[in-house]
Structure 1
Amino acid sequence: MSEVNVYLNECGVLLQKVLDKKHPSNDKEYQELFNKYHYNQDFEEIFKNYIKSLGLKIIPSQTELILIPSDVKSPYYMGYSEYSSKLAKLKDKDLGEQIHKKAILLMIHLSIIASFYPSENVILNEFDIAKTTTISDIANILTKKANFIKEEYQGQDFANTVASLIIDMPHKNDNEDSQRKSLNIEYLYEFIEVVLNHLLEEKFLAKEKDSDKYIIKDKYKSLIKYHLDDILIRKFIKYKGGKNV
């Protein structure tokens, strides 16, 4: 078998390891291929072209390979339809049109990121970010941002509608954990949990044992750094308290 064919076979194995959400530290074969990707330029180039043809690209990381869809046309792209099936399992209150739900999901994702970063000035500093967050932390940032939007963007129907839908969702108190087991979308916490559960499944977050705290993982930090130019991320961190902080 030619060297190129050997590389292509190894590319297939490496891709499967990543898609199976393995980690090099727990998989000897993955570790060997991960090292080969980093130290063998020929293999690195072949692997990049291999995944490019499948609609994927790599985010730089020193601990594992992180793949994301190359664009919205990628078969790996996760759109609203992936969330809609999860939201459909909940008892849905009127949250407007699909486009409003998309906006709320986006704001939840941004609130989760903001919950880990105290300010945009430390977004590159691994030591200054919060190691954990809770649904309550995220909900507080989300509702403050919604109130800010409603106040600052008066007269803009879409922004006001989305902000009002968030503000008007009844919130559960922290001491109502037992009641949170009943899936009901009218509670903001349940909506946030849909997003958090997805991030857990994708290994971007972990959950502290016997705790309500979510732990940020290196994979998620790398993804956030990769998207640092996204003005929405910076604005959410900068204005997460509702006003400029």
Structure 2
Amino acid sequence: MRQIVLDTETTGLDPRSGHRIIEVACIEMENRRLTGRHLHKYVNPQREIDAGAQAVHGITLEFLADKPKFADIVDEFLEFISGAELVIHNAPFDIGFLNAELRRLDRVPVETICNGVTDTLKMAKELHPGKRNSLDALCERYEIDNSTRTLHGALLDTELLADVFLAMTRGQNTLMIEPDTAPRPNIGADGQVRERKPLLVRRATEDELAEHAKNLAGIDKESKGACIWLPKPEAEPAAN
């Protein structure tokens, strides 16, 4: 299972008003493990950046002046995401901008290149109705270190979103949770790797284990010994 966690930064909020992508970042996961492969590009939008957008991501037009245009990176980008499921926070926003850029180049929509799109914002709203579900809020809820996120940055946000996505979906594929031993670089907004705090592991207390055993005993009684989570005594050998 190949998945690409994706994020963009833009000149404004609406591609229909001519706003453009100025940064795109993708990191690759296979079978719920980061592979270490990523694609990160700054893009010259050939237009001004709204003050409100610049306040969010801190990227200036002067910084982008010598960066490639989207047409210069499109083939590399499409090759990287081809055949993978995209994982995006607030997917309609990023997909809308990507498709606007692709239309300018007479390319097919991104949905025809990838193998489906998962919107983690939609997923979070279903899991946590009525609560804040921004990326920062989800990092706090799942105890993921986002201390280096002072401004939005596509590369840092994809790395954080990968951790959030894995935390939200852990247990969907299997009831046995295996530890993730793959290295997880902590990438700052400037693209530099920083040391990150280890993920917190909470183990059940003695009281919680006792309550769990009590619940299993109740299930076993109600099901007349059919509780599958309790070890069954070995059958005694038949008498000669």
**TM-score bracket relative to the smaller structure:** under 0.3
Report which of the two structures shows the higher radius of gyration computed on alpha carbons. Answer: 2
Task: Say which structure is richer in helix.
Answer: 1
Bigger strand fraction = 2
| TM-score, normalising length: structure 2 | 0.24
